[in-house]
Structure 1
């Protein structure tokens, strides 16, 4: 099997995809912007060949790289980045070279929030009503129908980028000043008191779920960024059956095969859920590492096994909670990394600096810590986030 990894170097923790694919007998080729010497010896050993381009944003240049590898090594079986930023590039390349997986036409339903909402409804999953806004007239009509507060986010966009909470006439005037009619927005009611949570996993080549999990955030993403708050999120030991039912219905209706998925929900105060977004990729940052710590699994290796047709081998040990908890450089905390390791011992699975691309959102210093009970989860988050007086 010939497998092209787009941007094999970044993010750093995704380099393990290359290592596990090679161990599974796959010929792995990389296309990226970094100099070959920058890759490091371990990644170099996992790549059968590396083709450097000046910019991955230059689609024609990347297509020439794929054409070269195709000519030299034969047909390409997979092209993948596992990275939100390159999903459209991946799809264009698959289409150009007739490679298995999502093509450009398949991305409409996972790119536009308005299209996602239609499929959520079709799957029978609750949503909050929303409206596409292309200009100030659309904005006025949407606010009149929805009332305030509302959330305004690009219909096609990633995460909380360019997202606004509109709670007053002043907010609306500010948003109107920012509104560029080249960007289509999607407006929906702000969900008061909602707990942000997910249904995540991996589908096999038939589109069936091979692995599933869920995590919850302590605060919604928009509030986290705007307030530069302390973050923690928790891989759950069990998935709420209602959330699981909704998640499975969404995965089925989207029909993606051999894909990681990351579906965001708000859990309402009455215990029900509303679906927010379907992401056709892994959750970002170090979340895949947290899955591995929580489930005593190597998802990188299991993904390689699934891709090569060997199936997915589920772990046979009970899973734990895994908390991703961060500290921000802007604040002074009572407990540093040494104190955290001294307190929680081998439950501290991971202590790393966050890449700059994620630091503003999540924080600067990241810890992954396992726990057996909710009481331990609360103890860990209190200890890590305790600030100096």
Structure 2
């Protein structure tokens, strides 16, 4: 089998996808825009061959790379990137080279445009926020009059939370419209009062979920980007939960077959006259690729598995050989370089050495949403996980308060101990007098 992997070097841990395929005898053929000498040794070892192009944006050059591989290795069975930025490129290549193991170019509309995603969600009876594709300022202001503020405006065909705006007044809307990118189509929708809950996993060729999980985003990515908040999210159970029911319905509605997938939903945190009751789930968007932000690694830590192996086995054998059982709470805490924190890294390891799985700096291209420096850790319970997260993200200004509180607690314990010892001494003295009086 021959598999082409687009941009196997970024994010850096994506070499794992290639590695598991190569270990199973697959010819793994990379195409990337970083010179071979500059990619990691792990990536080099995970590939049978690497074809360098100056830019993956140049379709003719990438087309020639695929044609070269076909001339050398024969028919290509899969073309993958697991990267949102290159989904249209890989779909275009599938169409041109008749590769049938993933979405082709002509089928990408509902997988890329948020407005078309909503139509698919609704076809599966999954509610979505009221919206319009923005065509004029008057149309937008009328939508605001009909539905009220706040509203969210973002590119209809966009990635992550880039160029996403929360509007709270007509003045915000007018200002946004005057300064928006002219060549971008935007979608405007009612702002959902809630939190993001994800559903991600791997399916076989018939749409059966082989492995899945869900993560709760403590802050919305939009707020992380626009307000430079800390990033915090954690895994939650899926078996027997509504997130699994809605997630599986989404898999079937979007025909996410033979895929790593990543879906986003909003869970209402209050009743809303147009959106539903507190606790309801609404469809937000779908991504036909592996989740980012080290979530594949978090899935491994949560279940004690290797999702890269499951993905490779799906491609080769259309099955999963692991017993999937959730064992840990896993969380991701991202710090900002612009902020100070109460605990240095070594202090955190002194406190949570058995919990912290790894820490790392985030590439600048991803740091806006993910944080500049992150810790991934696991715990035996929700409370333990929350305590670790709170400690990692504790602001520097709160350290003095904590130290003062600990000192007060220590003095209180010392006073309690002294009182206990004094009481015991009095009791001994009374007992001694009683014994003496008995003679």
Q: TM-score range by the shorter chain?
A: over 0.9
- Alpha-carbon displacement from aligned partner over 1:242-291 (angstroms, at most 9, x marks no partner): 22111111111111221111111111121111111111112212111111
2: distance between equivalents of 1:249 and 1:361?
28
Distance 1:92 1:136, change over 3 A: same
Note the C-alpha offset of 1:111: 0.6
Distance 1:256 1:10 in 2: 23
Matched, 1:185 2:174: no
Superposed counterparts of 1:203-218, under 5 Å: 203-218=203-218
Q: CA deviation at 1:292?
A: 0.8
Q: C-alpha distance in 2, partners of 1:349/1:240?
A: 28
Give 2:437's aligned residue: none
Q: Which runs of 5+ in 2 are unaligned?
A: 270-277, 398-439
Aligned partner of 2:373 in structure 1 is 365
Deviation at 1:131, TM superposition (A): 0.9
In structure 2, C-alpha distance between the alignment counterparts of 1:352 and 1:272, rounded to whole Å? 35
Over the aligned positions, Cα root-mean-square deviation in angstroms equals: 1.4
Moved more, 78-87 or 164-173: 164-173
Which position in structure 2 is the counterpart of 1:263? 263
Q: What are the Cα deviations for residues 47-86 of structure 1, in whole angstroms up to 9, with x where unaligned?
A: 1111100100000110001001100110111110000000
Residue segments in structure 1 that go unaligned for 5+ positions in a row: none
> Hey, which bits of structure 1, 4+ residues long, moved more than 4 A?
none
Which of the numbers 394, 398, 401 marks the counterpart of 1:386? Answer: 394
Give 1:181 deviation, angstroms: 4.5
Structure 2 residue 102 is the aligned partner of structure 1 residue 94: no
In the TM superposition, what are the counterparts of 1:292-311 in structure 2 within 5 Å? 292-309=300-317, 311=319
Describe the superposition over 1:176-219 as per-residue Cα deviations: whole angstroms up to 9, x where unpaired.
Answer: 11234532111111122x02111111111112211111000111
Shift in CA distance, 211/37, structure 1 to aligned 2, threshold 3 Å: same
Structure 1 residues 381 and 209, CA, compared in 2 at 3 Å: closer, same or farther?
A: same
Distance 1:146 1:318, change over 3 A: closer
Structure 1 match to 2:428: none
Distance 2:191 2:240 in 1: 23
Measured against aligned partners, the alpha-carbon deviations of 1:161-190 in whole angstroms (never above 9, x if no partner) come to 111111012201211112345321111111
Q: Is 1:84 paired with 2:76?
A: no
* Distance in 2, Cα, partners of 1:382 & 1:17: 33
Deviation at 1:317, TM superposition (A): 4.9
Contact 2:153 2:186 in 1 (8 A): yes
Kept in 2: contact 1:148–1:168 (CA 8 A): yes
Tell me, yes or no, if structure 1 residue 133 matches structure 2 residue 134: yes
Structure-2 separation of matches of 1:260 and 1:238: 17
Counterpart-to-counterpart distance in 2, 1:49 and 1:318: 37
Distance 1:318 1:280, change over 3 A: closer
Structure 1 residue 87 displacement after superposition: 0.2
Q: Are 1:246 and 2:246 matched, yes or no?
A: yes
How many corresponding residue pairs?
388
Structure whose CA Rg is larger: 2
2:400 is matched with which residue? none
Residue in 2 aligned with 1:113?
114
Task: Please give the alpha-carbon distance, in whole angstroms, between the structure 2 residues aligned to 1:4 and 1:308.
Answer: 14
Distance in 1 (alpha carbons) for counterparts of 2:326 and 2:256: 28
Q: Are 1:329 and 2:337 matched, yes or no?
A: yes
8 A Cα contact 2:211 2:324, kept in partner: no
TM-score (norm 1): 0.96
SS of match in other structure, 2:386: helix
Secondary structure in structure 1 of the residue aligned to 2:126? coil
8 Å contact from structure 1 (residues 135, 179) kept in 2: no
Question: 1:169-180, aligned counterparts within 5 Å?
Answer: 169-180=170-181
Alignment pair present for 1:150 and 2:158: no
DSSP 3-state at the match of 2:388 = helix
Aligned ranges for residues 152-171 of structure 1 at < 5 Å?
152-171=153-172
Q: Deviations over 1:70-123 (max 9, x none)?
A: 001101111100000000000011111111211011211111111111111110
